[in-house]
A and B are shown apart, each in its own frame.
Chain A
């Protein structure tokens, strides 16, 4: 059974940083692309970032490009999201999601999701 467990959320001041982690189990982690998707309180889903299985390719939404960095450690079955220069509008539940395959060499849809972790940016 696929399990994705996010951690690292919390309260941070504007301009600060947070590092989210997502520990995966139940599948061969290194073979699958992973992604982060967020949901602001009471709002819809917003894709944030993705990384291929080997880590060689990364993708970012325009809203976070240059501030967020996605990475993975396949020896630890973990994907990370380093979030810098945080703004109030980054406040959201952040979900880790697995992509079952690639389309044109990049992640497609997301077939497994974690329960999410809340990151709050406020003074």
Chain B
């Protein structure tokens, strides 16, 4: 199975500051058929289901604020929130879909400092 490891496990950032979450996969997620990386990011607020933020590592889902961005390639990926808002408090997960044995990172809890 492809193992997804997120860092840090938790993060406290001041309002208006940048938040960065990293995700590392145990093997490359580059899908050669379209030269895109098979990685998605989700946001989960307490008591709610996950919400898709980013797919193909850097494509923002419709309706997601542009302060959220994804980057990276191969095995190393990053989710960046450019200016943290109070409503961004949540747990964030990365997920690989390169393999049919889909796997998620363990999650990163984002809080306000």
Contacts and interface: CB of A to CB of B under 8 A. Distances in A.
B80 interface: no
B52 A109 contact: yes
B107 A108 contact: no
B49 interface: yes
Contact of B95 (A106, A109, A116): A109
Contacts of B33: 104
A47 B49 contact: no
Interface stretch (B20-28, B71-79, B81-89, B97-105): B97-105
Chain B interface size band reads 20 to 34
Chain A interface size band reads 20 to 34
B7 interface: no
A116 to B, nearest CB: 6
Interface in B22-60: 31, 33, 38, 40, 42, 44, 48-52, 55
A32 B51 CA distance: 18
B1 interface: yes
A55 interface: no
B107 A47 contact: no
Interface string A80-115: 000000000000000100000001101111111111
Interface of A: 35, 37, 44-47, 50, 59, 61-62, 95, 103-104, 106-116
Interface of B: 1, 31, 33, 38, 40, 42, 44, 48-52, 55, 61, 91, 93, 95, 97, 100-107
Given A45-B50, A47-B103, 7 more contacts: A37-B50, A44-B93, A59-B101, A104-B33, A107-B102, A109-B95, A115-B49
